[in-house]
Amino acid sequence: MKQLQLLRKLAEAYLEAASAKVKEAAETFFKEMDIDGNGVVELSEFMEFMREEPSIATEYKSRSFFESLCKINQKKLDFLDVMTLFYIIQSGRPFCATCAEFITDTYFCCKQCFRTKDRYCVCFKCFQDKHYKFHCHGEEAGEDT
């Protein structure tokens, strides 16, 4: 939860410093997700929007990810919650290839595919516990990663 709050602050700073084009894209992203136009995004709107967006990775399209974006004790996304999602997508924050959890903090990535779109990333816990295998190069845990 603490790390998502940090990502929320990063999203706010990202949006504040963004170009007019990026700000417009962010506003459009929110308006398209807020289907009924009431200024907040409910789970049903989120799920419908995500179903219609093939360019957004499947991992982002779950109820649990929606709930993790909601502020404490809230069942709806406000503008900044959606901007946090926008920032997460734009920055390419990964999910762990081993445990499938969203990685909010430090992660490890195969050095040979770090700059590719389909990079293989693992969270700190999976890396520390050596619960991974870099699939694309056959590297076992503990080898030169």
H or E segment and range at residue 121: strand 121-123
Domains of the chain with bracketed CATH? 2-91 (1.10.238.10), 94-145 (no CATH)
Percent of all residues in the chain with a pLDDT value above 90, rounded to a whole number: 36
21-41: pLDDT as tens digits: 999 999 999 999 999 999 999
Residue 119 in contact with residue 145, Cβ under 8 Å?
A: no
67-115: pLDDT as tens digits: 888 876 588 999 999 999 998 888 878 888 888 888 887 787 766 666 6
Whole-number pLDDT of residue 144: 43
Percent of all residues in the chain with a pLDDT value above 70, rounded to a whole number: 83
120 against 86, higher pLDDT:
86
Whole-number pLDDT of residue 114: 64
Task: Name the average pLDDT for the chain.
Answer: 83
